[in-house]
Structure 1
Amino acid sequence: MNPVYGSLTRCNDQTMQALEDYKISPVTGCLLGQPTTPPPSLLPFRRLLEHSHELLNSGKLRESIEKLPTLDMAQLKSHEEKRLAHKILAFLAAQYVWQNGDRNPAEILPAVIAMPLIEVSIELGCQPLLGHIDLVLSNCFPEKTQLLQRQVFFTEFIPSDQPNWLPFIEVTADIELSFCDGAKIMMHIINSVQKNNTKTAVECLIKLGDVISIMRQQLLLLLNTHQFIPDGCALSGLGGLQMQQLFMNSLIKIHLFYTMQLACVDEELFLEKEPGLHFITLKTLLTHLYSAFAHLLIEELDPKAFYCEMRPFLSGWSHGKISKGLVYEGVPDSVLTGAETGDLSGETIPKKRVYLGASAGQSISLQSFDAFLGIEHFKDVEKFFADLRKYMILEHRHFIEDLKQHVHLRDFVERSSSKELKTAYNSCVNELLLFRKDHLLIVEKFIIAPSKMYAAKVESLKSQGTGGTALDQFLESVIARTEAALIQC
């Protein structure tokens, strides 16, 4: 194992830490709260990403990436700056590889992207490619609005100009936002168990079940027609005057930021003069406006668009023509991030690195619930979950590991004579069971069914997940073990 990555392992503590120590915000959960201002060295990379869709469509993105300057890693000082760098580099890496589509991927990632991406991944404890951390957690920011009942997000970047990215990313972010409440409730339950306070544990378990139910309803938005209209029907609860007000507020926001920037055409100079503001291009601001109205513009996430046009960007380096991996140019073979598979011991130089693609399984939410509720899966599933944790940032991985090590809720429930406690515990397990059954329906709609219709177009994915698993069998196993965790009252 690479010594830098290995040194990220901490000493075992005896208790759970505060949520903030796990990079879990009490307000936004695992989502970052707001966009990060890039340091000067990162600006050329961000500018390129902002214009990457046009370059992708013209087939000129690879050439533009290869002309980028060397990134000064010393300028990445804060955790947020490192997250931003990882996101931008990972987006560009995915676009570079898949510029020409699924049938003609690149097999070498140029050093200008590969070297800093490996370095920042080691520092964060995650992996050097586009993952859930980049697509959702560091990329989708909750917006405050009183005019819409549904949560609105600002999504900073999407991999291509396919508009279905927005509902896909933002529904996932909505689930992450709800998990924030679940994380706080779990900490209260842990405290209750330590104090042998059955009454409080019951009350909190009921609330936790409600949170999982809300997350399930958010997940189901991906299955429902017109799901991006407020209240589930055309503009209900949102009058014409309110629509105009929301639209005007967005335009005012664009005007305010953009006029401030007209006097400073030099971006670095702007950041020096106004360090508290984000330098935002007009295109980015218009994207912000579009994101705010995405739920009105897109009625339904299209399975064909998701499977054929979106999933290749999420597939990692483990499928199809790059099933043997990708060369990270300029990176010594001895420098590893801890999740590499493939032939790293052979005589071939340079080595190809195999990494799994992005998936919601890289979120901490469901694995946290499993660890907290004491749900145990079969060994092959547990191993796969452990592999997915390597794609999380270090602190998120520690949260799950600490729940596994320090929380003994299931033992507490089984030893108790309280029927109310067992019922409340089972309600959480049952809500998680329903969530997973509905997730299987979504997989069938967006992956399994399209794979039978469009497999020839996306030969590298077929009916496997971006993590490389046979999804239906895997999820059925997870569902079975979740159901087996119900306790007899």
Structure 2
Amino acid sequence: MDMAVAAYPTTTISRQFAVTVNKKGIQILKRISACAYTKGNVNNSSSSSAQFFEVSGHRGFLPAVDPLPHLSHPQFSPWEETLHDLPKLLAAFDHGQKLRQTIEKLPPFPYQDLLLGGDSEIWRGMLVLAFMTHAYIWGAPSPVSVLPSKLAVPFCEVSSSLGMPPVLTYATYTLLNWRILNENCAIELGNIVCLHNFYGGLDEEWFRLVHVDIEAKAGVGLKAVVDAHDAVAQQDMVQVHSSLTKMADTLKIIQKTLSRMGEKCDPDIYYYRIRKYMSGWRGNPALPNGMFYEGVWSDSKFFYGVTGAQSSIVPAFDAALGVAHACGPLSDYLQVMHLHMPVPHRSYIQQIENGPSIRSFVTAHMSELGECYDTCLTELFRFRVLHMKYASAYITQPGKKSQKEERGTGGTDFIPYLLQNATTTKEHLMSANEV
């Protein structure tokens, strides 16, 4: 098998998300067409998206090709120029009102032409609209609860064509928001920069680039997952052991990258300058009534903001190692986060879940594979604990200084959520050894 991982087909996704609430009050986004916004025929790019977001051993869940730095057609230039100037405009315009007026005066976003183009262009359009939307909403001391039709209509159309919610997601904030400096070197810290920021500055860049580095380094482990499935199907115990070793090594490596967060991203700067723009309008006391998408829906909608739970890495390792999260509010939340991932990533995780059970194979060969399997789970547990440590340092502790009880940008009471996920991982260990 070559380094390409995504041999799994992409399923067709409905174009928009409806909101329902289960008995425990956790909001679930479901793929039904009742809330679709389609005034005309929208090109569904799921097949090309499968190639654009192909999962590989070289890039993990990052796009198969480098993200576009700008939309190619000149008619998008006013939008691109405004996006490029966002850090300057946010710094210069008093209280953000002039920024909102600047965006309102832009020419209509020609989304119909965009949707006829290739997948790289459509995803670039998604990034442009997502950044402009969150700058418009959060770029002042008080957020607005109405997204004007100039933003709302194209944003909903473009996001619908990709099977994504109309809000800034981890995909647009991180996976699509980088460029490489030296093409002959790896996608890693020191050789990557962000395409776009809100306020900008070293801390904002570093926060995002740490995640880009993690995504790229995860590729080796994701390929090992597929290799392990092939080996289980062939009853190849040696290859399963080798794949588990690579998975464990990958989890160790991405912990090292995450441990570098504090080098150039200060917790207070993250808390006061960065995280606001990542926020959504579900579980957010600043927008208790959600967001009204003018010209799209007749009522307000609630969508979660950017969160690390929208990265496909940990869910993929959960699926591979058979880590099952108990039914309840947090498992419901994880399902919602899956729907904030690009469609090919959801398909990849689903195929891993439906594939041969690595855990069952290990159970049948405990003496040969038990220790190696537990090492994988231990490193996954340690990654989750490390993540929880940074969430506390960058959100909880600054919040206490401000006398606020903070929720995550994803709208959750995140510490119990992260703790439960870590505990569940630990409970899946084959041995009784403490980690």
Q: Distance in 2 between matches of 1:140 and 1:354?
A: 28
Please state if 1:353 is matched with 2:291.
no
Query: Partner residue of 1:46?
Result: 80
**1:73-222, aligned counterparts within 5 Å?**
73-76=111-114, 77-101=117-141, 104-144=142-182, 150-222=189-261
TM-score (norm 2): 0.82
Q: Distance in 2 between matches of 1:164 and 1:452?
A: 21
Q: Which runs of 5+ in 2 are unaligned?
A: 1-12, 17-30, 34-49
The one-letter code of the counterpart of 1:29 is G
Q: Distance in 1 between matches of 2:277 and 2:348?
A: 28
Note if contact 2:189-2:209 (Cα within 8 Å) is conserved in structure 1.
Answer: no
**1:380-419, aligned counterparts within 5 Å?**
380=328, 381-416=330-365, 418-419=366-367
SS in 1 for 2:144: coil
Q: Distance in 1 between matches of 2:403 and 2:154?
A: 35
Note if contact 1:190-1:409 (Cα within 8 Å) is conserved in structure 2.
Answer: yes
Following superposition, the deviation at residue 383 of structure 1 comes to: 1.1
Following superposition, the deviation at residue 7 of structure 1 comes to: 7.7
Following superposition, the deviation at residue 126 of structure 1 comes to: 1.3
Please state if 1:366 is matched with 2:314.
yes
> What do residues 33-92 of structure 1 show as CA deviations (whole Å, max 9, x unaligned)?
323251323322111111122222213210011111222223221111111011010000
Q: Distance in 1 between matches of 2:388 and 2:221?
A: 22
Following superposition, the deviation at residue 209 of structure 1 comes to: 0.4
- Seen in structure 2, the aligned counterparts of structure 1 residues 21 and 71 have a Cα distance that, compared at 3 Å, is closer
Q: Would you identify which runs of 4 or more consecutive aligned residues in structure 1 move more than 6 Å?
A: 145-149
Of the candidates 359, 368, 373, which is equivalent to residue 425 of structure 1? Answer: 373
> What do residues 229-267 of structure 1 show as CA deviations (whole Å, max 9, x unaligned)?
xxxxxxxxxxxxxxxxxxxxxxxxxxxxxxxxxxxxxxx
Please state if 1:35 is matched with 2:73.
no
> What do residues 342-366 of structure 1 show as CA deviations (whole Å, max 9, x unaligned)?
xxxxxxxx31111111011101000
Please state if 1:480 is matched with 2:423.
yes
SS in 2 for 1:480: helix
> What do residues 435-457 of structure 1 show as CA deviations (whole Å, max 9, x unaligned)?
1111111111101111101246x
SS in 2 for 1:353: coil
Query: Partner residue of 2:7?
Result: none
> What do residues 376-416 of structure 1 show as CA deviations (whole Å, max 9, x unaligned)?
11212221110001111111111111211224111111122
Following superposition, the deviation at residue 180 of structure 1 comes to: 1.3
- Seen in structure 2, the aligned counterparts of structure 1 residues 4 and 435 have a Cα distance that, compared at 3 Å, is closer
- Seen in structure 2, the aligned counterparts of structure 1 residues 83 and 433 have a Cα distance that, compared at 3 Å, is same
Q: Which runs of 5+ in 1 are unaligned?
A: 9-18, 228-299, 334-349, 457-461
Note if contact 1:308-1:454 (Cα within 8 Å) is conserved in structure 2.
Answer: no
Q: Distance in 1 between matches of 2:179 and 2:233?
A: 35
Following superposition, the deviation at residue 145 of structure 1 comes to: 6.5
- Seen in structure 2, the aligned counterparts of structure 1 residues 74 and 409 have a Cα distance that, compared at 3 Å, is same
TM-score (norm 1): 0.73
Note if contact 1:162-1:309 (Cα within 8 Å) is conserved in structure 2.
Answer: no
The one-letter code of the counterpart of 1:483 is K
The one-letter code of the counterpart of 1:320 is P
Note if contact 1:115-1:330 (Cα within 8 Å) is conserved in structure 2.
Answer: yes
Identity %: 26
- Seen in structure 2, the aligned counterparts of structure 1 residues 3 and 402 have a Cα distance that, compared at 3 Å, is closer
Query: Partner residue of 1:71?
Result: 109
- Seen in structure 2, the aligned counterparts of structure 1 residues 440 and 44 have a Cα distance that, compared at 3 Å, is same
What is the root-mean-square deviation of aligned Cα atoms in Å?
A: 2.2
Please state if 1:469 is matched with 2:418.
no
- Seen in structure 2, the aligned counterparts of structure 1 residues 206 and 317 have a Cα distance that, compared at 3 Å, is same
SS in 1 for 2:318: helix
Q: Distance in 1 between matches of 2:323 and 2:360?
A: 11
SS in 1 for 2:218: helix
- Seen in structure 2, the aligned counterparts of structure 1 residues 172 and 186 have a Cα distance that, compared at 3 Å, is same
Determine which structure has more spread, i.e. the larger CA radius of gyration.
1
- Seen in structure 2, the aligned counterparts of structure 1 residues 29 and 327 have a Cα distance that, compared at 3 Å, is same
Following superposition, the deviation at residue 171 of structure 1 comes to: 0.4
- Seen in structure 2, the aligned counterparts of structure 1 residues 133 and 315 have a Cα distance that, compared at 3 Å, is same
Q: Distance in 1 between matches of 2:103 and 2:378?
A: 48
Following superposition, the deviation at residue 151 of structure 1 comes to: 4.4
Q: Distance in 1 between matches of 2:122 and 2:185?
A: 34
Following superposition, the deviation at residue 23 of structure 1 comes to: 2.4
Q: Distance in 1 between matches of 2:316 and 2:276?
A: 28
Note if contact 1:22-1:398 (Cα within 8 Å) is conserved in structure 2.
Answer: no
The one-letter code of the counterpart of 2:266 is D
Note if contact 1:164-1:302 (Cα within 8 Å) is conserved in structure 2.
Answer: yes
Q: Distance in 2 between matches of 1:147 and 1:174?
A: 13
Query: Partner residue of 2:10?
Result: none
Note if contact 1:39-1:75 (Cα within 8 Å) is conserved in structure 2.
Answer: no
Query: Partner residue of 1:250?
Result: none
Following superposition, the deviation at residue 488 of structure 1 comes to: 3.0
